[in-house]
């Protein structure tokens, strides 16, 4: 099983082709897969200017505002029109749709989870209190606020751990009153659905 600790601050930022922002990739599985071949991917995006979002056929997406005033995501057919302006509130949508992105203020930073429909299902939750995270084949934990003890790992904001290829459960212990943690669990499936839970 692959198990990797990460720190957002140490990840290289890659510019978007359209110049609208940058992406820091945390994990892409399987390792070395391109954008047409991955099963799941987690990244942090910084959006600097309005412009189009790329469409990803067969991909389910969850996006969450981390910092900034947020963005408005809307499709030309009107089926999607969403203001991503509240921090730490996940928004799930089909990546097949081509979306336009309008800034609601200045630069925004977002958490992005992408899973290939029919191969991987995702469960994303925001934790603010201590708790046990049920075992999953793969997943990711990332600290948003305060410090957390994640088994043997002591992690602060922007830090975390991901795993792939073996069942792993976690005991998450917050160390501060303002603690917040993203917990993503991923399982192989024949029918992919992304669900979001409230604070736990």
Among residues 116, 134, 150, the one where a domain terminates is 116
pLDDT value at position 172? 98
Last residue of a domain, one of 99, 116, 133: 116
At 38-64, the pLDDT tens digits run 999 999 999 999 988 888 999 999 999
What CATH number should be reported for the domain holding residue 136?
A: 2.60.120.10
pLDDT class of 194 with cuts at 50, 70, 90: very low
| Same domain flag for 140 and 78 | no
Q: Based on the fold, state whether residues 110 and 26 are members of the same structural domain.
A: yes
**Whether 112 contacts 45, CB under 8 Å:** yes
Q: Which of 22-26, 32-36, 59-63, 124-128 has the lowest mean pLDDT?
A: 32-36
pLDDT value at position 193? Answer: 40
- Indicate if the pLDDT at residue 182 is higher than 90: yes
Is residue 4 in some structural domain? no
Q: Which of 95, 116, 137 is the last residue of a domain?
A: 116
Question: What is the layout of strands, in order, in the sheet containing 81-84?
Answer: 51-53, 99-103, 71-75, 81-84
Average pLDDT, the chain: 91
What's the number of domains the chain is made of? 2
Has residue 197 got a pLDDT over 60?
A: no
Range of the domain at 133: 120-197
Predicted structure pTM score: 0.91
Quick: pLDDT tens for 70-111. Answer: 999 999 888 999 999 999 999 999 999 889 999 999 999 999
In this predicted structure, what is the pLDDT of residue 73?
96
Angstrom distances, CA of residue 117 to CA of 1, 99, 109, 197: 23, 19, 25, 20
Residues 35 and 103 in one domain: yes
């Amino acid at each position: 099983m692959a198990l990797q600790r990460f720190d957002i601050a140490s990840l290289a930022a890659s510019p978007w082709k359209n110049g609208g922002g940058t992406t820091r990739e945390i994990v892409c599985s399987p390792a070395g897969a391109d954008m047409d071949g991955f099963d799941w991917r987690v990244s942090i995006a910084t959006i600097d200017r309005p412009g189009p979002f790329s469409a990803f056929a067969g991909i389910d997406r969850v996006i969450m505002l981390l910092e900034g005033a947020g963005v408005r995501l809307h499709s030309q057919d009107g089926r999607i029109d969403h203001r991503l302006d509240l921090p730490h509130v996940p928004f799930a949508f089909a990546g097949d749709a081509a979306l336009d992105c309008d800034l609601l203020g200045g630069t925004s930073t977002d958490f992005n989870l992408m899973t290939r429909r029919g191969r991987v299902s995702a469960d994303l939750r925001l934790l603010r209190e201590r708790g046990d995270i049920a075992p999953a084949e793969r997943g990711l934990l990332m600290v948003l606020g305060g410090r957390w003890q994640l088994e043997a790992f002591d992690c602060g904001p922007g830090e975390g751990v991901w795993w792939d290829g073996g069942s792993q459960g976690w005991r998450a212990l917050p160390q501060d009153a303002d603690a917040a943690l993203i917990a993503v669990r991923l399982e192989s499936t024949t029918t992919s659905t992304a669900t979001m839970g409230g604070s736990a």
